[in-house]
Amino acid sequence: MKKTIAVLLILMLIGGLVLTGCGKTDDAQKQQEEVPAEPGDEEKEPLKVALVLSGGLGDRSFYDSSHEGFERAKKELGIEGSVLECKNDPSLYQDQLIQASENAQAVVVVGFEFFDVIQEVAPEYPEVNYIYLDNVVEGFDNITCITYLENEGTFLAGALAAMLTQETSIEGINEEKIIGMVGGVDLPVIRNFQVGYEAGAKYIDEEVRVETIYAGDFEDPAKGKECALALYAKGADIVFHAAGKTGEGVFEAAKEAKAYAIGVDTDQRYINPDVIVASMIKGVGLSVFETIEKIIDGTFEPGKVIYYGINEGGVDIGYGTPDMKQIVPDEIKEKVEEIKAKVKSGEIQVPTAK
């Protein structure tokens, strides 16, 4: 008796599965039939763009910045699209990229980590325009690369820190000419931050020592705090970070050590305006927006490498909103502007690690 009931139940379950399975494929087929029919009906359909992130939103720096540009394009240019996050899981890179390519006309690929995957996927979808951020792939007609001259931005940050560390009249600034930096993981991109930062500091004063520690993680704020505390204990009074969420710990350390920090990628002063004196801004959002704008205008040239440096507004220094108490004196800000002009005109050549 029990056996027959069990068999019946199993049969019902299998039947249910088969039936629901059929239902779904029917729907999917219908959808597929419907979708291609639409473009013929209407000429001015919104551009479909997908944003694929190697990490996740909420880092309050790099990925969020790209998302800002994407959202701005949605609002101002009327594009349609969705965000696909890979949450730093390499096994998802390929799936998410294919998923994005299936449904969009342009795919913004955020993160150097896609280097191999994009080269495999892009040839499969020749109709799709790929905009690849933070790395360079050459020889593909449909991959456009955007690379940032972070070193130019961190040159300004380094110069600023080197000047600030000598303003001993400011509370929390010590006598020693030491500044620090916490890097996320030792990668070419982060090295590029470091090289610029060191060069900027040396440009101001040869005697300024720059200490750099790599936390080995972009998602461990506790480790970030320990790294920064180690730097402050060595006599650094300003620590710059290029470490994503790990950098949140750097700000905590600055608060505890009663010293200062410099933010990265977006204007991070709002996180804690008492200790974050400035931020080196990487115009990721701007570059995403401008590229999508070009695709819509028809001025887009696929397959090129676009550089975003000081000249293009791709990197800059931000001091937060005007209602925040300014820690950096105006003379230093003016000096930073002077240096910025010199980098723009080519008078200063910033070394690079890329």
State the minimum distance, in angstroms, from the CB of residue 64 to other proteins.
8
**What is the longest distance spanned by two Cα atoms in the chain?**
91
Gap between the Cα atoms of 155 and 353, Å rounded: 13
Q: HEC states along 263-306?
A: EEECCCHHHCCCCEEEEEEECHHHHHHHHHHHHHHCCCCCCCEE
Question: Which residue among 52, 60, 96, 275 contacts other proteins (CB under 8 A)?
Answer: 60
Closest CA to 98 of 65, 120, 82: 120
The yes or no reply on residue 302 touching other proteins (CB under 8 A) is: no
Question: Quick one: tokens of 302?
Answer: 């696929």
Q: How far is the CB of 187 from other proteins (least distance, A)?
A: 11
Sheet (strand 80-85) strand order: 80-85, 48-53, 106-110, 129-133, 143-148, 305-308
In the list 230, 296, 305, 348, the residue contacting other proteins (rule: CB under 8 A) is 230
| Near other proteins by CB under 8 A: residue from 177, 241, 245, 282 | 245
Q: By CB under 8 A, is residue 233 in contact with other proteins?
A: yes
Asked if 176 is part of the footprint of other proteins (rule: CB under 8 A), the reply reads no
Residue 27 CB: number of other CB atoms within 10 A?
A: 10
Q: Which of 46, 48, 64, 140 binds other proteins (CB under 8 A)?
A: 64
Asked if residue 285 binds other proteins (CB under 8 A), the reply is no
Please provide residue 335's backbone torsions phi and psi, each rounded to the nearest 5 degrees. -60, -40
SS3 188: helix
Q: Binding to other proteins by residue 271, rule CB under 8 A? A: yes
Judged by CB under 8 A, which of 220, 237, 267, 290 binds other proteins?
220
Smallest gap from residue 271 Cβ to other proteins (A): 7
Residues making contact with other proteins (CB under 8 A): 56-60, 64, 183, 186, 211-214, 216-217, 219-223, 225-227, 229-230, 233-234, 245, 248-249, 252, 271-272
